[in-house]
Structure 1
Amino acid sequence: MARGDRRAYGLARVAVVVRAGAAPLWWLGVFSAGAGLLVPGLTGRRIGVLAGAALFIVAAAVVACARRRRYAGLARSAVRAGKHDVLQDRAVSVRNWRRGHRWWLLLGFAVALGGSFAVPAAGGLLLAGCGVGLRLKAAWLGRLERAADALLWVRVDRLAANGGRPAGQAVEEYRSTGIAAGDAAPGGARRRTAALV
């Protein structure tokens, strides 16, 4: 797509898409870690929990920091959304992401739960750390949006072509709107008050 293309597109909030996986990863991780504590495993519970705590911290940091330069570059070069562009509701963006990744989420949960027979709780804490990392990345995007006084959006067709990743190679640019557009606040959380559009 040439830069400055003014055709109308469906747009999803970048921060909402990033944040969409945070809650399921967190809860699946917490549940599998809790279930994993019911069995001693090969290493014992104490070693499993200590290993899991380390994995939690590393996963949260890696996920939160991954591809920040790419996100920041796309944010800096964002073009203004056209008046005919369709802004996707937050709930729709979240539902689409979770539906598209449900088998990966279930696979991760199954692996984490099965891994508890070797290292109790470690796999679950790793999943939970990934969820926290996504929440931290969404919060960082929210700070970018507030600093620029503009919300960041990604074309839905490009998002789908890139497996739901809003900063992948198929995403060539972001579009921007005023800070009050749509039904999600900076960072992707649900707005506490009605949007003024």
Structure 2
Amino acid sequence: MRIGIIGAGAMARALGGGWVAAGHEVLVGARSADKAADAATAIGAAAGTLHEAAGFGEVVLLALPVAALDEVLRSVGEQLAGRTVIDCTNAFAPDTAAPQGTTAFVLTEDAVAERVAAGAPGARVVKAFNVCAAEIWASEARVFDERRLAVPLCGDDEAALRQVATLTEDLKLQPVSAGGLNRAKYLEAVSVFTVGLWFAGHDARAVFPPLEAAFATVD
């Protein structure tokens, strides 16, 4: 599969490197040509401009700081029409209300994925890979407590969801259908909540019982 990556940071390298290793053609584009070249060299991909990355792939990964999204989408948003766009971004900011000495975060924006969809009309946006940090995707560890690490996917286009599910499996991860793009904001909230727990030294996995022990009734 041909994959364009817009961004040259840790997430671009982690996911892009995994896809290169899985045999996909990857082109990294960034606002800085030097950063794009450095990231591409590090993972064995090609390097190019933002426009080249947007036009290269059947699938385009947006691996950008949220603050850069508007500028980039103004530049290449129209090129993304008809393409599968993976949004892995989160709008994090320090939680200034947290007790002194506590590292915690809040969301500065409730629904980044919906803004991406609005800025790239005609694109088939899928929210994915936003719950864990780049270091997790770069790691070889995939199974914890005998359970494969799962990646929730939110999107409205079935073909795009299948493409992203395939790319998830190529990273030896378990894709999980999590509903339409309107539910992506909940993934973003889950991310800020769980990352806050991890930074506070708590095991976020312990919050949720395994499926066989989970139960609830509809009121």
Give the TM bin, normalised by the shorter chain.
under 0.3
TM-score by length of 1: 0.22
